[in-house]
Copies of this chain bind each other. A is one copy, B any other.
Amino acid sequence: MELHTFTLRNNLRPRALALFETLLAYCGTGLEEPELIREDERQAVRFRARPGADVAQIRRLMESAAERARREVEAPTKVVFEVQGAQGAPPDRHAEVIGRECVAIEEGLYIFGPAFTRLMRALDQVCLGLARRLGAQEYTVPAYTTWEVLEASNYVRLFPQHLTFGHVLEHDLDAVERFATARSREEQQSMTRPSPLVMLPAACLHCYTLKRDQRIDDPLLMTVVGHCSRYEARRMTYPGRLWNFHLREIVYLGSLPGAAAFRRQIVDELSALAGQIGLPCRLESATDPFFTSARAGLAFYQHASDLKYELVGALPGGDRSLAIASLNYHQQHFSQSFNLRDGAGELLHTACLGFGLERWAYWLLSHLGDDERDWPEILRDGQAPAV
């Protein structure tokens, strides 16, 4: 494959450059191995194109990505707390364990082994303990939501790149027979049709759906584990970025001061938890992956209004990190979408805390390995008692 170079018109500042790098994943299916380089002090992308790919179109998309990145507001990241932890660890510290415990079966799809599973289970016990201390009740939710819910919440227009849509066969004996005897996968794929279902991209959507159009007199706390899906195309290069993952959420529905108090309490809890675990991480301001042309305004507003924080764990070696939890204040966005009101008819304020369970397990396993004796005390109870 021929090597190409795309040179940016103007150099981007650090935050904009990071966004540009993310957006490279959305610069066409023909793009291969894009790599950020410097040429004569100017930022550039060196890339390959698949045979038959439209290189001019790839360049046009890169120009468009640079344009979006250029409008990114260069506000400083706010750090709420930081744990230094084991900074000097080599990056491949437990590479053998990771290889054994995280087996890829497809882009972004892994089967995780017994030690990984014990860590997830232990961590979810910690989350559930926190949820119960806060007074949350637990619900069971499907791995799908509906087009209608995603439209009502505007998710479908804000984050369309994440969505995985559920298609099915016509429920008809003839169609079933034709499908079963078709000659190729392509022929079979042409027989499916859209259903009302979309894979769940965020667990808390189910909480608002359940309480839709209801008067909620007293503040409400709910907790769920959503088996969530976010398609991230070519960004899904390692077990820290999955197409499908378990998201434990604790959701608050109530007043403005209640939402603020919830957030303060969660910050304290996260800080205590991070301290007990003692690995390098920090709670910092963040923005959502808005990738449409509406991004600049939305991300700026989110940052300026202090709406989103992420607990970011550094991986061994310190070069890479991943968001393992996020704390979000939605103001009245979801209560408007789902008509959630208090006894006086006022729109509620909502907030949520989400733990990406596989990401936690990956972060912990990368630092600590699979010998339970090396794990922090609070995570050693993964082997729940057999009944």
User: Which residue of B142, B161, B192 contacts A109 across the interface (Cβ within 8 Å)?
Assistant: B142
Q: Is the CB of B173 within 8 A of A291?
A: yes
Contacts A27-B172, A65-B173, A140-B116 given; does A387 touch B167 at CB 8 Å: no
Q: Is the CB of B125 within 8 A of A384?
A: yes
- Encode contact with B along A136-154: 1 for CB under 8 Å, 0 otherwise: 0111111111110101000
8 A Cβ contacts from A1-41 to B: 23, 25-29
- Encode contact with B along A99-135: 1 for CB under 8 Å, 0 otherwise: 0000101110111111011101110011011001100
> Which one of A76-84, A177-185, A316-324, A327-335 is at the interface?
A177-185
Contacts A111-B206, A114-B138 given; does A195 touch B231 at CB 8 Å: yes
Contacts A125-B384, A195-B164 given; does A243 touch B61 at CB 8 Å: no
A56 close to B (CB within 8 Å): no
Q: Is the CB of B140 within 8 A of A174?
A: no
Q: Is the CB of A161 within 8 A of B169?
A: yes
Nearest-neighbour CB distance to chain B for A214, whole angstroms, equals 11
Cα–Cα distance between A200 and B122 once the two chains are bound (Å): 25
A97 close to B (CB within 8 Å): no
Q: Is the CB of B147 within 8 A of A165?
A: no
Q: Is the CB of A386 within 8 A of B129?
A: yes
A157 contacts which chain B residues (CB < 8 A)? Answer: 180-181
Q: Which residue of B lies closest to A190 (CB)?
A: B194
A87 close to B (CB within 8 Å): no
Cα–Cα distance between A163 and B189 once the two chains are bound (Å): 12
Nearest-neighbour CB distance to chain B for A118, whole angstroms, equals 8
Contacts A65-B173, A161-B171, A227-B227 given; does A106 touch B146 at CB 8 Å: yes
Q: Is the CB of B197 within 8 A of A189?
A: no
- Encode contact with B along A279-320: 1 for CB under 8 Å, 0 otherwise: 000000000000111100000000000000000000000000
User: Which residue of B128, B195, B358 contacts A384 across the interface (Cβ within 8 Å)?
Assistant: B128
Nearest-neighbour CB distance to chain B for A343, whole angstroms, equals 20
Q: Is the interface of A mostly helix, strand, loop or mixed?
A: mixed
A196 close to B (CB within 8 Å): yes
8 A Cβ contacts from A170-226 to B: 170-174, 176-177, 179-181, 185, 188-189, 192, 194-197, 199, 206, 209-210
User: Which residue of B106, B132, B168 contacts A165 across the interface (Cβ within 8 Å)?
Assistant: B168
Nearest-neighbour CB distance to chain B for A234, whole angstroms, equals 7
Q: Is the CB of B176 within 8 A of A160?
A: yes
Q: Is the CB of A164 within 8 A of B163?
A: no
Q: Is the CB of A112 within 8 A of B139?
A: yes
What are 8 inter-chain pairs, A to B, with CB distance below 8 A? A25-B171, A105-B145, A106-B144, A112-B140, A133-B386, A143-B227, A171-B233, A180-B292
Known: A26-B173, A111-B210, A166-B199. 4 other contacts (CB 8 A): A23-B173, A106-B146, A165-B192, A181-B292
Interfacial residues, chain A to chain B (CB-CB below 8 A): 23, 25-29, 61, 64-65, 68, 103, 105-107, 109-114, 116-118, 120-122, 125-126, 128-129, 132-133, 137-147, 149, 151, 156-158, 160-161, 163-174, 176-177, 179-181, 185, 188-189, 192, 194-197, 199, 206, 209-210, 227, 229, 231, 233-234, 242-244, 246, 291-294, 358, 378, 381, 384, 386-387
7 A-B pairs with the lowest CB-CB distances in the bound complex, closest first: A171-B233, A129-B386, A112-B140, A129-B387, A142-B244, A160-B179, A180-B292
